[in-house]
Amino acid sequence: MSYIKDEMKKKDSEKLEEMQREISEEQDIQTQAADAEDNTGSEDNDADSAAQQIADGEKALAEAEDRFKRLQADFVNFRRRSNQEKSEISEVILQGFVKDMLPVLDNLERAVTAKTDDGAAILEGVKMVLNQFQEVLTKNGLEVIKTSGEKFDPNFHQAVMRVEDVDKEDDSIEQELQKGYTVHGRVVRPAMVTVVSN
């Protein structure tokens, strides 16, 4: 982007120098014409000068419009590149997550193909895979929303029922019915809870 800005500044300065040369050449021509003419020709000179100023103004306006169109095209190209880069970054993040999940998938496939009738061994294997799965999710920013001993917060909790409990304060969480999760601080699923209301 800085390369484009430098190029635009360079072009602008070149155009400015060219316009200054043209103005000075025009001034030289007008000076020579004024010296050659007598007083009766001064009205024609003023009309010519006004016409030249209008022409110069129109030329400067056309150049400004051209610069504006180029800047607008540069902005459209920048926005397109920015969106493309965001898309590529999202794909890379997703690929990293899937790569982290592959060992979990491998272990689940091994568990399915294992030939054992030992229920305790199967349960132990499932627990190990569950722990591995939770570690991968935690590594990628997943956190469980706390409910035990917490006050009800509609930003993190979803109340599905109100219950009476004189031993607890109003708006405290009585029971968690379903875990809630955040990823990097954003709620992906609120915790489903029952809330005390006396």
- From CA 144, how far away is CA 190, in angstroms rounded? 10
Residue 191 has pLDDT above 50, yes or no: yes
Q: 128 lies in a domain?
A: no
Residue ending a domain, among 93, 127, 159, is 93
Residue 4 has pLDDT above 60, yes or no: no
Greater pLDDT, 15 or 189: 189
- From CA 82, how far away is CA 131, in angstroms rounded? 38
Q: Which domain holds residue 87?
A: 2-93
Helix (H), strand (E) counts: the chain: 3, 6
The pLDDT value given to residue 3: 53
Number of domains in the chain: 2
Q: How confident is the model at residue 33 (pLDDT cuts 50, 70, 90)?
A: low
Q: 11 lies in a domain?
A: yes
Greater pLDDT, 138 or 47: 138
Q: 114 lies in a domain?
A: no
The mean of the pLDDT values for the chain is 84
Same domain, 12 and 89: yes
Condensed to tens digits (0 to 9), the pLDDT of residues 116-172 reads 788 888 888 899 999 999 999 999 999 999 998 899 999 999 999 999 888 888 889
Six token digits for residue 38 = 């007598």
Same domain, 20 and 81: yes
Greater pLDDT, 16 or 185: 185
Residue 108 has pLDDT above 50, yes or no: yes
Same domain, 83 and 15: yes
User: 130-152 burial string, b = 16+ CB within 10 Å, else e?
Assistant: eebbeebbeeeeeeebebeebeb
Q: 66 lies in a domain?
A: yes
Residues 6+ apart with CB under 8 A from 57: none
What is the model's pTM?
Answer: 0.55
Residue ending a domain, among 70, 93, 116, is 93
The pLDDT value given to residue 143: 95
Q: How confident is the model at residue 40 (pLDDT cuts 50, 70, 90)?
A: very low
The pLDDT value given to residue 114: 80
Residue 101 has pLDDT above 90, yes or no: yes
DSSP state of 97: H
CATH number of the domain enclosing 172: 2.30.22.10
Q: 124 lies in a domain?
A: no
Same domain, 71 and 149: no
Q: 53 lies in a domain?
A: yes
Q: How many CB atoms lie within 10 A of CB 157?
A: 22
The pLDDT value given to residue 36: 56
Is residue 98 helix, strand or coil? helix
The pLDDT value given to residue 110: 87
